[in-house]
Structure 1
Amino acid sequence: MDNYSIPAQTRIGHIHLKVADLDRSLGFYRDLLGFELTQMYGDQAAFISAGGYHHHIGLNTWNSKNAPLSTYPME
């Protein structure tokens, strides 16, 4: 899937996800699913959206940095 992006008319609730690895999570949500990165909060959080909204999904490592990865690999 090259150059895919979430359609602008996509509607999703405003959610925050605890993630263990911010770069890996951006690789999935931004690079694979096509969400747009709208803001970074240092190396602790990223905010992504579809269609130019300020953010639909917040990804943060505040309480989950380096937690064990899921038993379901993303590769």
Structure 2
Amino acid sequence: METLKPKRLGHMVLMVRDIQASCRFYTEVLGLQVSDWIGDKMVFLRAGTDHHDLALAELPADSPDRDDLPRYSRPGLEHFSYLVESEEEIERSVRVLQQHGVTIVRGIGRHGPGNNLFLVFKDPDGNNVEVYCEMTQIPQDGQHRAQVWERNLESFDQHRLERFVVPPPPHLVESKTGKS
């Protein structure tokens, strides 16, 4: 059977209790730079030129009862990712994952912050793994200004779920149709 063909380990997303405290830690202690925010609940950080190597997402206050995919009620890893060559490689990844019987969680989509294509799937232990490509590159000339994206469907997927190869979670479908 075919395999995926990642180029390198990419970024990761961590769930955190206090987004402001965590952002201060990663910028003031580790020296990362802020690329963008989604509202005041998610921040994208970089050490190099990739739009983000680390993103932090704040746990909702009522996280144990939240109907979300995936469901997180504690700090820790939400997903880690691997860079692939191209959009065609992401499309091929769908077929490879399906051949291997791997559960696809979300995607194919295109995030707002970072503008990268994404496809998320489960490993045997239930960890979320993402393959992505076409991430925005930010020159290290100090000219980049962080943007604050609205917390809406377009910041999650600019294609508005049209390219998803699996049914999207109900809360995303509701946000697409304007129902809440």
1:61 to 51, 58, 63: 58
| TM-score between the two structures when normalised by the length of structure 2 | 0.28
How high is the sequence identity, in percent, across the aligned residues? 32
Q: Do the aligned partners of residues 64 and 28 (structure 1) sit closer, same or farther apart at CA in structure 2, a change above 3 Å counting?
A: farther
Equivalences for residues 1-75 of structure 1 within 5 A: 13-63=10-60
- The structure with the greater share of residues assigned to helix is 2
Q: Do the aligned partners of residues 64 and 35 (structure 1) sit closer, same or farther apart at CA in structure 2, a change above 3 Å counting?
A: farther
Name which one, 1 or 2, has greater alpha-carbon Rg: 2
Q: Do the aligned partners of residues 64 and 52 (structure 1) sit closer, same or farther apart at CA in structure 2, a change above 3 Å counting?
A: farther
Deviation at 1:64, TM superposition (A): 6.4
Gapped regions of structure 2 (runs ≥ 5): 1-8, 63-72, 75-180
Post-superposition Cα deviations, 1:10-57, rounded to whole Å, max 9, x if no partner, equal xx7410000010110011101110001001001110000112211000
- The structure with the greater share of residues assigned to strand is 2
Partner of 1:9: none
In 2: Cα distance, 1:35 partner to 1:45 partner: 15
Aligned pair count reads 58
Gapped regions of structure 1 (runs ≥ 5): 1-11, 69-75
